[in-house]
Structures are given as C-alpha cells and as structure tokens.
Amino acid sequence: MSKRELADPGPVEVFAALGDPTRLSLLTKLSDGQTRSIVTLSADTNLTRQAVTKHLQVLERAGLVRSVRVGRESQFGYRPEPITEARSYLDRVSAQWDDALERLKALVER
Amino acid sequence: MSKRELADPGPVEVFAALGDPTRLSLLTKLSDGQTRSIVTLSADTNLTRQAVTKHLQVLERAGLVRSVRVGRESQFGYRPEPITEARSYLDRVSAQWDDALERLKALVER
DNA sequence: GAAAAAAGCAACCAAAAGGTTGCCTTTTTG
DNA sequence: CAAAAAGGCAACCTTTTGGTTGCTTTTTTC
C-alpha cells in the first residue's frame, strides 16, 4: 500500500461534488465525452470564469473530471470511474433495503 | 399541478444530503428497514443529539427518511424513492458516456 | 514583437453548514 | 405525582463554500 498516486476518493466526496447544481450540470455536459476549456464551460453559466474554475477543481478532486493543459488552455474531460462507484454504493443501499423488505414479508406470511 | 404535497426533491438535493459522512452513515444504518429514535441514532456518533437532529432534518427534506412521532420519541425510517431516482440519474450519465465511447469507436473503426 | 486570449493566483466577502450549549415541553415510569 | 427520558427551539460560534475583483503569467495570433 504505497504507490497509490491519486486514489479515487470515497463515495462521500463524490456525492458532495454532485450536490451542487452548477457542478452537476458541468459534469453532465462533459459526460458527452467531449473535452472542453474553462472559458467554453463558463459560457452558458452567468458565473465568472473563476467561479467555474473552482467548481471544476472540486470535481477534479472528487475524481470526476481530469484536466490536461494543452497550449494556453486546460481541457477538462469526464472520468467515469467515480460515477460507477457511486452507483454501486447506491445499489448496495437499495439491496439492503430490499432484503429487509423480503425478510419482513417472509415473517408476515409465515 | 397544484396538490403536490411534499414532492421528492431533485437529484441535486439528494446528492447534497448524501455528501456528508454522518448523514451517509445514518442513512445506510436506517436502510436495514428498522426504525430508530434520535437518541438511538446518536448513540454511536460522538456528536450531540442536536447535531444528529439537524442531519436527520436534512435527510428528511431530501426525502430520504421519514419521521413519525410515537409517544415521546420520533421514529425515523428509510424512504427508498430518492435513492432509486438518484441511481437512475447516475445511470443516465453513465449511459451518455457509454454512447459517446461507442460513437467514437465506430468512427475510428470505419 | 505587441495585443489578445486563456488561465493561474490571491485576497476578500457574505452566506450557509456543522456544531455547541441552554432551556422549555411532553411523555413515560417508579 | 415527581423524576427521568426524549425531543423541540433558539441563540450563538467557527469553518467552509460559493462567489467576486484584481493582477500576473503563458501562449497565440496579427
């Protein structure tokens, strides 16, 4: 357990990152697979470029996007892994709930 | 569009509610189907009862739990709907991403 | 090579979040 | 029926968040 270079943060951080309208819309935009610069992403946002930058940093810390500086601009792209993890987290919660219901039903029908 | 009595909040609010370690653990605890009082939920938390109360209120506003006052205590229980919605939101994001990959692949292989 | 474009950096600010303590009300129980 | 248990309400405090403005740096383009 030593090399670890930028571990995917846990579900809490991912959910927190998704829990803001601006960030959620930035992410869903980027999930179309296209890579975009900060000015481009700020375009339809009525926020300042710097505000958008901050949101992108939050998304990046959560592992949801990755940025690469290319020339004078940094291109942001979607990273699917954390979403997959978050999804399976929710799946487990749902599963636990479903199990509980199942047991209850079995008990009642006995 | 008038009767609406306590609409399930959108995914943003749900994600925001999940984006805190205390709340996430409260919720996963409750997802076992058992109903619990505030003192019970505060028990293994090292937070004060009031702090837990606030977190439970956030969860409740997000529709993730429901509370019923029974006698001198209020019992909190899990509500599955918002989790289901959040899950399908993430599914849609993933699907959009997968589609993008698919199109890209098709383009390259042509 | 100077102007424009894109972005980084830093200070600052207001509002919201997360938490606490203190006190009051309502039920329960010995 | 008095004490204990569970909770509600409200004030208060500190840190984080979401946002701004202003200035510098790095590329690009004319």
pLDDT, tens digit, 9 for 90 and up, residues A61-104: 999 999 999 999 999 999 999 999 999 999 999 999 999 999 99
Q: Is residue A37 packed enough to be buried (19+ CB in 10 Å), middle (13-18) or exposed (0-12)? A: middle
Packing angle, helices A11-18 and B21-30, rounded to 10: 110
Q: Which of A38, A5, A18 is nearest to A90 (CA)?
A: A18
**Contacts A104 to B, Cβ<8 Å:** 33
pLDDT of residue A2: 45
Are the beta carbons of A82 and A14 closer than 8 angstroms?
Answer: yes
Model confidence at B109, pLDDT cuts 50, 70, 90, reads confident
Model confidence pLDDT, tens digit, residues B33-92: 999 999 999 998 999 999 999 999 999 999 999 999 999 999 999 999 999 999 999 999
| DSSP per residue, A21-72 | HHHHHHHHHHTTS--B-HHHHHHTSSS-HHHHHHHHHHHHHTTSEEEEEETT
What rounded mean pLDDT belongs to chain A?
93
Give the three-class secondary structure for A91: helix
**CB count in 10 Å sphere of residue B31:** 24
* Residue of chain B whose alpha carbon sits nearest to that of A34: B100
In strand D, which positions have an atom below 7 A from any protein CB? 5-11, 17-22, 26-28
Tell me yes or no: is domain A11-109 CATH 1.10.10.10: yes
User: CA torsion sign, B83 to A16 to A54 to A7?
Assistant: negative
Model confidence pLDDT, tens digit, residues B23-35: 999 999 999 999 9
CA of A101 to C1' of C15 (A): 42
